[in-house]
Amino acid sequence: NAAPADAKNLRVKLVLLGDSGVGKSCIVLQFVRGQFDATSKVTVGASFLSQTITLQDSTTVKFEIWDTAGQERYSALAPLYYRGAGVAVIVYDITSPESFKKAQYWVKELQKHGSPDIVMALVGNKADLHEKREVPTEDGIELAEKNGMFFIETSAKTADNINELFEEIGKRLPRPSQ
């Protein structure tokens, strides 16, 4: 949950959920380090990274990002991972309908077991592979709208919409009452 030091400085645990290979670790690396490593076949992330951004109203948001090292294969471990998270980013690959199905599963799972005030974002990644697209943008929009989530298509490869993703999440975080 957002655990702010004061109104202008928010801090939040963010988890990424989604099939192995959809680009979760690459999204994190592009956001935190501005890098893309095309050679990595499996997960490339450290288990914990943090990054602070400043919003237009000068609020700072420190994201404490928990990336899995492939444990997403073991759904039973997921509750340990998303416990206490203020933000869940559910990622699928726009070239993989199977990964979109899995995203739908995660939406349900978080609605059942996540914190009630969790901010959820739905991300269609690998938008640069538009020639291989198999999940229409409209399907992402529809799933997100039905579930009150923010939706965006990103490319961790080209960095398209990566900063926008985190800025939009920052804007949607609950602000502490004063």
Q: Which DSSP string corresponds to 117-171?
A: T-EEEEEEE-TT-GGG--S-HHHHHHHHHHTT-EEEE--TTT-TTHHHHHHHHHH
> Contact between 176 and ligand GDP (CB under 6 A)?
no
Residues 101-160 that bind ligand GDP (CB under 6 A): 125-126, 128-129, 155-157
Residues 25-64 that bind Mg ion (CB under 5 A): 25, 43
The b-or-e profile of 51-80 (16+ CB within 10 A means b, else e) is eebeeeeebebbbbbbbbeebbeeeeebee
Q: Residue from 11, 14, 15, 23 that binds ligand GDP (CB under 6 A)?
A: 23
**CA dihedral sign, ordered 108, 127, 69, 149:** negative
| Binder of residue 26, out of ligand GDP, Mg ion, none (CB less than 5 to 8 A by kind) | ligand GDP
- Region of 2-10, 35-43, 81-89, 169-177 interacting with ligand GDP (CB under 6 A): 35-43
> Contact between 40 and ligand GDP (CB under 6 A)?
yes
> Contact between 14 and ligand GDP (CB under 6 A)?
no
- In the complex, minimum distance from the CB of residue 55 to ligand GDP, in angstroms, rounded to a whole number: 24
Is there a contact between 93 and 173 (Cβ–Cβ < 8 Å)? Answer: no
Q: What are the residues binding ligand GDP (CB under 6 A)? A: 20-26, 38, 40-44, 125-126, 128-129, 155-157
Q: What are the residues binding Mg ion (CB under 5 A)? A: 24-25, 43
